[in-house]
Structure 1
């Protein structure tokens, strides 16, 4: 979009003109309320940093809705002390029902024109809200603006990585699309962490909210449903706009295995989305092929890494998989492990 076109787009939304685009943008932007939705469960120790991070945002016209999902730590007392002198914060306590329920409740309470999701232990760059609000105002066709994310270990905030495994792997897709192309991208993989996007509240009409009752990947399904219903996604390539994701020490192998199982389960659900969509038969076939390829790749890796003696886990994998690819990879994995064992015995 050229400068004149951009100015006209902003005028169309703001309903007023200024001679200076920069000052006009600032005056237009500052009136837009952003609702920041923060679910928390036993993360009281991180909330002082998160609350301070929001107070330091260059964009100040926001409300933060903190929803305590039945914490058993000192979250309630900590939050009340932190927000006592700032009316922009709202604190709600609910019984433990999961992060999806908490986010959906936050959406019901939100009064802003834009929505920012934020996990209780994560952070936003100082300019993130400001730049993304400007992005959405100057691009009225865009429903969801999203930015880069940086991961950091809890005790090493100075070392940043583009991936959760802290290996330097750039996994995020930079998309600018809607419709079939956007669906293809989101079927291939989740394009962003929960705190990366800023979306228009009006876009929620294209979604049924976060799926409740699931433990993982509820954010991916939320973004995918929006794509199936015509939401326009656009990556904002500004190095000053990013989100910071805290990585906690845990059992890496267990976490990876559980995530892969959740991924397979979700891909079964994706097939239903594809089947029930108004897409053409040709597009459905192409998108389902992407989904099946990714699912089979996950299944193969999961089976190969599962010890033979772990019958319980193998049964769990079998229950969530299609029988033909399951037995195909199971037999191949048995042959693979036999050969590996045979080589080890020979080399002794």
Structure 2
């Protein structure tokens, strides 16, 4: 049976406004040995019809439909169909730069011992046209502390994993509706997975006030549901303080969450002020931003804290 180099997994739920751009970014890749798996998760809009139309014009696309089950179950379902040696995940409201798959293919060819890889992200304004800021990529292999604190991978749209590694370390935890991607990464690293970043901007991540990633309290609940499984209580407390800083920064770049920014800042400082302020540029800036947020226009907050 022919096995492509990549299986691209795109979970689809009510994404009629963004799906085409995401799929087109895969079709525009300079590395073309791919299959594209679109799994419709019980959408109530035109998503399924759009996916089928895209598949009609590209025989690399397979469309699967299911009753609504959530992002974790949808990704797991797609992987069950995957034939590629590498699995690349893409959310249906994000998109890739044309060299994304080529860069990951080159890294994994040069470093066959790696289990997974990621890259730098451009955080985009809601209109999808203007990058607000870019993520940083730590050097070397990811540690469990890095994953638990602020998760440099950030989004599944950034993750590429060897298919055999995915099956060895296990699927996404379907009981989690938030932070299931971070739990999956933490479980991999905790059990010895080798994950490395590419210091190159390859992913466009669309900020969305109404998306799952904007439901900050549920993200926090999801994080607390698994973090203690992978670190001592002392390390978990330090990581939680920094994770609160991460949530505060997310709140500051949402148009209607300034009050949440102060709540997470105070929570993080209470848990471990030293950890919260461990990176002065991020810690002090976040604390000051949370205090001043009611006086800052949303567009200013977004540019500073994206």
Query: What interval of TM-score do these two structures reach, taking the shorter chain for normalisation?
Result: 0.7 to 0.9
Length-normalised TM-score, structure 2: 0.73
Out of 89, 99, 102, the position equivalent to 1:117 is: 89
Length-normalised TM-score, structure 1: 0.65
Out of 145, 148, 161, the position equivalent to 2:132 is: 161
| 8 Å Cα contact 2:4/2:83 also seen in 1 | no
Out of 47, 66, 77, the position equivalent to 1:105 is: 77
Greater Rg, structure 1 or structure 2?
A: 1
Residue 263 of structure 1 pairs with residue 263 of structure 2: no
Distance 1:188 1:248, change over 3 A: closer
SS of structure 1 residue aligned to 2:11: strand
Q: State how many pairs are aligned.
A: 256
Match of 1:185 in 2: 146
CA displacement at 1:123 relative to structure 2: 0.7
CA displacement at 1:215 relative to structure 2: 2.5
| 8 Å Cα contact 2:31/2:101 also seen in 1 | yes
Match of 1:129 in 2: 101
Distance 1:152 1:298, change over 3 A: closer
SS of structure 1 residue aligned to 2:14: coil
| 8 Å Cα contact 1:187/1:270 also seen in 2 | yes
The runs of 4+ residues in structure 1 deviating greater than 4 Å are 295-302
Q: Which runs of 5+ in 1 are unaligned?
A: 1-30, 164-169, 275-283, 307-313, 326-339, 341-348
Distance 1:95 1:122, change over 3 A: same
SS of structure 1 residue aligned to 2:23: helix
Q: Which moved more, 1:230-239 or 1:36-45?
A: 230-239
CA displacement at 1:236 relative to structure 2: 1.1
Q: Which runs of 5+ in 2 are unaligned?
A: 252-257, 272-290, 292-306
Q: Deviations over 1:123-163 (max 9, x none)?
A: 11101101110110111122112111112224241x11236
Out of 235, 238, 249, the position equivalent to 1:287 is: 235
Match of 2:166 in 1: 204
SS of structure 2 residue aligned to 1:221: helix
